[in-house]
Chain A
Amino acid sequence: MMGKVELSNQGYPLDRHPPRWTADGRRGAADRRTLGWLAAGLGAVAAPAGLLIAPPDQLQGNTQRLMYLHVPAAWTAYLAFAAVLAASLGYLATRDLRWDRCARVAAELGVGLTALTIALGALWGRAVWGTWWDWDPRLVSTALLLLVYAGYLARRQVLAQRYAEAGPLAAHRVARPAAFTGMAGFVLVPVVHFSVVWWRSLHQPATILAPERPPIHPLMATALLLSLAAFTAGAAWIFLRRLAALDRSTPAGTGHPPTPAVEARPAADRATLVEIR
């Protein structure tokens, strides 16, 4: 998959960047803008569909409209954690730090979306169940999921500080343990999803992803699917923007934002620095 490996970098490929789809160039930026507009357009359709067109639920009334935010937030969080898994595998297979940055960005996104899911779920739960929180298997496992990936990000931070002086290989010393943590964390995703099936819970089971789909009004289902599409596109847009920003702030040959270390600079810069001295 990778080109030739630079022996001078102790077996790790040099961090060449950027790939086309995260490129800082005009093309990459235009692609991201297109995706951003797509997400905005889907959101502009999903909002009136969820707020006005879909009928209020018989039991829950207008509160049920929280579903059009809560479910897509949870879905995109699952997607983000799947991306952490894939990118972590990608890093371990190729030792390419671009994969590592993908994993980091996806984890950031997933943590934010999981927190959003819990917050929206608390509002919905207060209104319909009669409690913000209870020790229900779905709620507990989701909180654990948040904790695990927040821990993943924290671990990256701690490792990055520890190896800050390690030169060009510092990023790899962060990326490898981070990849294992990121992959291990994904074990919780099916636990969260199937918690409502495996254990008795307060939380209702899935509707759209249920094996035999229970009745949902077609307009409600449409609003939900539109919102799912808008969230997915929006999350992908944020992912690519953040990744591009991270690529920009990463000098070639290192995996972390610029440090004053001369070794971290590309050869041309180094020569200039020597000249100045």
Chain B
Amino acid sequence: MIRPTRAGLTLTAVVLAGTGLLTYGGLRGTLSYYRTPAEVAADPDARTTRARLGGTVVPGSVEHHGGQTVFRLVADGHEITVRQHGMPPDTFRPGQDAVVEGVLGPDGVFRSDQVLVRHGNEYRPADTDTGTDAGTGTGTGTDAGTER
């Protein structure tokens, strides 16, 4: 009774292929989207395979040398120096989270060719304080003290 139509088979194939592709792509870079400096430093494969490294841009560590940007990423007390080829996005700021993609060099410097800026779920106007000191009174007043 059930006679698969060509359209049905094609659709099923497209959906399955798409799902497979997305799942594979999603899971490829190990199971997590990025790794912390401590994880990258401890991983012997990090020097040979591309990885994403995530952390907070250490304030005061950003330097521009010609076409390169050098900065440090920190998370959980571990730091890695990143040498980025090309300009980071305009939203790149010290103190913000960033995810870089590249390979860890033999000198322990992470050579990156892409910087992605992570932004938090907090929104405030430009003319107020940076939020490093809690309780500037610009939030909804629910709990300004829980900032990271």
Contacts and interface: CB of A to CB of B under 8 A. Distances in A.
Contact of B131 (A136, A137, A143, A215): A215
Given A59-B93, A130-B88, A202-B118, A140 B125 contact: no
A216 B139 contact: yes
B45 interface: no
Q: Indicate the size class of the contact surface on chain B.
A: 35 or more
Interface string B51-73: 00010000000000000000000
A9 interface: no
Interface string B26-44: 1011011110000000000
B124 A130 contact: no
Given A128-B91, A161-B7, A147 B18 contact: yes
Interface in B115-129: 115-128
A146 to B, nearest CB: 9
Nearest to B120: A204
B147 A56 contact: no
Nearest to A56: B126
Is the contact region of chain B dominated by helix, strand, or loop, or is it mixed?
A: loop
A214 interface: yes
Contacts of A135: 25-26, 28-29, 33
B49 interface: no
B142 A212 contact: yes
B119 A55 contact: no
B101 to A, nearest CB: 9
Interface string A225-252: 0000000000000000000000000000
A94 B11 CA distance: 30
B33 A215 contact: no
B86 to A, nearest CB: 10
A131 interface: yes
A60 B22 contact: no
A137 B34 CA distance: 11
A162 interface: yes
B48 interface: no
Given A57-B125, A217-B124, A199 B33 contact: yes
A154 B15 contact: yes
19 contacts: A55-B125, A58-B130, A59-B119, A129-B89, A130-B91, A130-B114, A130-B116, A140-B25, A140-B26, A147-B18, A147-B22, A151-B15, A154-B15, A201-B33, A213-B143, A214-B146, A215-B147, A216-B140, A217-B123
Interface of B: 3, 5, 7-8, 11, 15, 18-19, 22-23, 25-26, 28-29, 31-34, 54, 88-89, 91-93, 96, 99, 114-128, 130-131, 138-140, 142-144, 146-147
Interface of A: 55-61, 64, 67, 127-131, 134-137, 140-141, 143-144, 147-148, 150-151, 154-155, 157-158, 161-162, 199-202, 204-207, 210, 212-218, 220-221
